[in-house]
A and B are shown apart, each in its own frame.
Chain A
């Protein structure tokens, strides 16, 4: 066997005459995608089981002929193995590659198959594109451009099916547009194990419905909207609000929990319209929670801070900063950071706390019960960032008892708070009134109300930075929309304060600048730069923190290590 010789466990296959090496059993669609080409498909999804019902992925497939008696490959006159093509095309999504296979993805026959499949898919399809939310990212539109005939030969009456069916609190169904690919059904069965969707009736009347008396209401329901190749399933929140071709998609990280789900933030002209998952096979595959998608609404929350204030009166930014500086220089200061701050903010905040001779650094924990899938027990996305940078060396607490004691004993005059509400973290209002609070944050809360200096900040959508998730994976998020006018980036604010204190770090006002220093200063960040950090993140060495009792339980692609500390010792 010359063509299909097995080397290092990998096999050679030939795609349109091009030799490719891959592990045996690789899925044909995935392989071709990896080559930068495409086999059109609807029902296949890399993270779901193969159902092979749409037939769009038909290709011509050949295998080396075997002699039945000797079990050896048959050779032709030139001594090359003889290739037997299957008489009929086969579906690529159910083809697992074996040694020496040959595939034609572009032949006339394949093209004819695609044209025929598409024509059948379109016979009962409504002419809805102008009002259909999928338009612009619809696989039916895309392949119709490539393989459609441009007019319809179907003169019979189209089948009429229910439109605007409410499937659940967040998902709407248009049955006429459904091409019965069953991706949504398989997602509910296999990924969330909430088996609510299914097909009823037969033939062209087959209709997708919910199980009677049930709703598609699990916290992952909107993933069905993402994977639906057509506009049958639409998000009720996003529906009709913006056409997708206007959206600028910025890679970001979901702040819902320490899982660090990779996302794309869709915005137009400074307004966020939707958040969708971004594929990362090491973190969230292609999924994300519904609750995480709603987080963009916080941008326009009514308690958003936009003014610089000193003693509750609006002032110019410089005045607020110099007032903060006065406190930092003169007083005994404690620092309360946030598990929602980026790595860069933790770094500068830590520098600031050292420059001010901080009495105490602490972080507020946000633990709750996760779902074991993509929401972990820790609602703080970046506790590990604070640990890596040495801002704290123990895990955050829900009640800042240490700080409360110090305030009671009069050992603290001022507290610098980043984004946290101290009144719900064990420091009651009466206690808070004993100290001066310098509050830096995007939203108002109990702490900002009593604060003597308030400096507004940005949300995760309005700034760039990095988070370290539960796997110690460093992941980058980029600015999607500009912040409210006049509001400074938190990094800029902290670096200005450092600058006023005469520290070198005062020059570091962008993530890239911070990383240029960080990668040299800290061993765990060696060789990392902000600009070249891969989209899928970089795994850091978290072994130094192995003994800490992190609160996360197992979730997708994550097994907690702490449970086994004793076992290993």
Chain B
């Protein structure tokens, strides 16, 4: 390959003194000194998280405070890095939520594996898993970064939607029983 040698223009006398450059730099510094500050004092101050932001995946409860997840394991299936682990259990007959039949026994997300793609939220038929505004998590060990069900619900909180699918189902069931 041919090597092309570029000629450098020699510096002028003024440039050799470096004074104009220093003055230009000082101008910028002085201007910013009197402008309002844009730096966030993280972690005391937090940025505003826009709607639809894909933070840490979390589990949410419905307006009745009941766990929405029914352990269908679709999120476990769809998750590209295989970050999710679910074992399911059958809900006891006779209980308050017996008509839902199934719930997760354990639900773990390995946050070191999660790539915040949001597929789990997209696939969930019960709208039980949401990527919300939590973006900063840390831990002292790998195990601490595997979030269990309790932690995921704690991060997720309640999502006041108004499907009330299971409430309606229960009402229908009870209406049918009265016949």
**Which A residues are within 8 Å of any B CB, using their own CB?**
126-127, 129-131, 135, 157-160, 163-164, 239-241, 243, 245-246
B100 interface residue, CB < 8 Å from A? Answer: yes
| Chain B residues with CB below 8 A from A126, complex form | 169
Whether B88 contacts A160 by the Cβ 8 Å rule is no
Q: Which of B77, B89, B90, B172 contacts A246 (CB 8 A)?
A: B77
B70 on the A face (CB < 8 A): yes
Question: Which of A131, A157, A159 sits near B72, CB closer than 8 Å?
Answer: A131
From A129, A131, A241, B101 is in contact (CB under 8 Å) with: A131
Q: Shortest 4 CB-CB distances between A and B: which pairs?
A: A160-B176, A130-B72, A131-B102, A243-B73
Is B173 in contact with chain A by the CB < 8 A criterion?
A: yes
Q: Does B71 contact A (CB under 8 A)?
A: yes
Docked CA distance A157–B171 (Å): 11
Q: Which of A127, A157, A158, A240 contacts B71 (CB 8 A)?
A: A240
Supposing A239-B90, A243-B77, A245-B77 touch, asked if A131 and B172 sit within 8 A by C-beta, the answer is no
The contact string, 1 if C-beta is below 8 Å from chain A, for chain B 122-135, is: 00011000000000
When the two chains form their complex, are residues B89 and A158 in contact, meaning their CB atoms are under 8 A apart?
no
Within B86-112, the residues touching A (CB, 8 Å) are: 88-90, 93, 99-102
Residue of B nearest to A158 (CB): B172
21 A-B contacts, Cβ less than 8 Å apart?
A: A127-B165, A129-B72, A130-B72, A131-B72, A131-B100, A131-B101, A131-B102, A157-B172, A159-B176, A163-B99, A163-B101, A164-B93, A240-B88, A240-B89, A240-B90, A240-B101, A240-B102, A243-B72, A243-B73, A246-B76, A246-B77
- Measured between beta carbons, the chain B residues less than 8 angstroms from A245 are 77
Residues in chain B near residue A163, CB distance under 8 A: 99, 101
- In the complex, A164→B101 CA distance in Å? 9
Please give the distance in Å from B143's CB to the nearest CB on chain A: 19
Q: Shortest distance in angstroms between A474's beta carbon and chain B's nearest beta carbon?
A: 38
Given contacts A127-B165, A240-B89, 16 further A-B contacts (CB under 8 A): A126-B169, A129-B72, A130-B70, A131-B71, A131-B72, A131-B100, A135-B72, A158-B172, A159-B176, A160-B173, A240-B71, A241-B88, A243-B72, A243-B73, A243-B77, A245-B77
Chain B residue at minimum C-beta to C-beta distance from A130: B72
B49 beta carbon closer than 8 Å to chain A: no
Quick one: CB contact mask for B115-146 with A, threshold 8 Å, 1 for yes? 00000000001100000000000000000000
Complex CA gap A163/B173 in Å reads 10
Which B residues are CB-close (under 8 A) to A157? Answer: 172
Q: In the bound complex, what is the Cα–Cα distance between A245 and B102 (angstroms)?
A: 18
Contact check, B73 vs A246: say whether CB atoms are below 8 A apart. yes
Q: Please, which residues of chain B bring their CB within 8 A of the CB of A158?
A: 172
Per the bound structure, the CA–CA distance linking A327 and B160 in Å amounts to 74
Roughly how many angstroms separate A240 CA and B101 CA in the complex, as a whole number? Answer: 9
Interface string of B78-90 (1 = CB under 8 A from A): 0000000000111
Residues of A near B88 (CB, < 8 A) are 240-241
Query: Chain A: interface secondary structure?
Result: loop
The CA-CA distance from A371 to B147 in the complex, in Å, is 51
Name the residue in A131, A158, A239 with the highest tally of chain B Cβ atoms < 10 Å from its Cβ. Answer: A131
B63 at the interface (CB under 8 A from A): no
Q: Indicate which residue in A129, A159, A160, A164 contacts B125 across the interface (CB closer than 8 Å).
A: A129
A245 to B126 Cα, complex, angstroms: 19
Asked if B74 is at the interface (CB within 8 A of a chain A CB), the reply is yes
Residues of A within 8 A of B71 (CB): 131, 240
User: What are the residues of chain B within 8 A of A135 when measuring CB–CB?
Assistant: 72
Minimum distance in angstroms from A130 CB to a CB of chain B:
4
Q: In the complex, A129→B70 CA distance in Å?
A: 11
- Bound together, the chains give a CA A130 to CA B101 distance in angstroms of 11
- When distances are taken between beta carbons in the complex, the residues of chain B under 8 Å from A241 are 88
| In the bound complex, CA of A129 to CA of B176 (Å) | 22
Cα–Cα, bound, A263→B125 (Å): 33
CB distance from B107 to the nearest CB of A (A): 14
Identify the closest chain A residue to B172 (Cβ).
A160
B176 contact set on A, CB distance < 8 A: 159-160
CA distance A158 to B173 in the complex (A): 10
Residue interface mask B31-74, A partner, CB < 8 A = 1: 00000000000000000000000000000000000000011111
B60 to chain A, nearest CB (A): 16
Question: In the bound complex, how far is the Cα of B90 from the Cα of A164, in angstroms?
Answer: 11
For A240, the chain B residues whose CB sits under 8 A away are: 71, 88-90, 101-102
CB closest chain-A residue, reference B100: A131
In the complex, residue of chain A having the shortest beta-carbon distance to the beta carbon of B87? A241
In whole Å, how far is B174's beta carbon from the nearest beta carbon of chain A? Answer: 9
- In the complex, residue of chain A having the shortest beta-carbon distance to the beta carbon of B165: A127
* In the complex, chain B residues whose CB is within 8 Å of the CB of A130: 70, 72, 74, 125-126
Q: How far is the CB of A389 from chain B (nearest CB, A)?
A: 44
A159–B77 alpha-carbon span in the complex (Å): 32
Residue of B nearest to A128 (CB): B101
Nearest-CB residue, chain A, relative to B77: A245
Residues of A within 8 A of B102 (CB): 131, 240
The interface residues of chain A lying within 8 Å CB-to-CB of B100 are 131
- How far, in angstroms, from A160 to B169 measured CA to CA in the complex? 9
Q: In the complex, which residue of chain B has the Cβ closest to the Cβ of A159?
A: B176
Q: Give Cα A164 to B95, complex, Å.
A: 14
CB distance from A22 to the nearest CB of B (A): 40
CB contacts (< 8 Å) of A164 on chain B: these are 93, 101
> Chain A residues with Cβ under 8 A from B169's Cβ?
126
Least CB distance, A167 to chain B, in whole angstroms: 15
Considering the complex, give the chain B residue whose CB is closest to the CB of A131: B102
User: Which residues of chain B have C-beta atoms less than 8 A from A243's C-beta?
Assistant: 72-73, 77
Proximity bits, B142-179, A CB within 8 Å = 1, else 0 = 00000000000000000000000100010011011000
Residues on A with beta carbons closer than 8 Å to the beta carbon of B93:
164
Contacts of A159 in B (CB 8 A): 176
Contact assessment for B77 and A131 in the assembled complex, using a CB-CB cutoff below 8 Å: no
CA distance A356 to B165 in the complex (A): 72
Question: What is the minimal beta-carbon distance from B63 to any residue of chain A, in angstroms?
Answer: 19
Cα distance, A63 to B169, chains bound together (Å): 50
- A379 to B89 CA separation, bound complex (whole angstroms): 35
Bound-state CA distance A200–B25 (Å) is 90
Shortest beta-carbon distance from A512 to chain B in Å: 32
The CA-CA distance from A239 to B165 in the complex, in Å, is 23
Collect the chain A residues with CB atoms within 8 Å of residue B125's CB: 129-130
How far is A192 from B176 in the complex, measured between Cα atoms in Å? Answer: 35
Closest to B74 in A: A130
Q: How far is the CA of A240 from the CA of B175 in the complex (A)?
A: 28
Residues of A within 8 A of B74 (CB): 130
Residues on A with beta carbons closer than 8 Å to the beta carbon of B172: 157-158, 160
What are the residues of chain A within 8 A of B76 when measuring CB–CB?
246
Min C-beta distance of A165 to chain B, whole Å? 11
Give A176 to B74 CA distance when docked, in angstroms: 23
Closest Cβ of chain B to A232, distance in Å, is 14
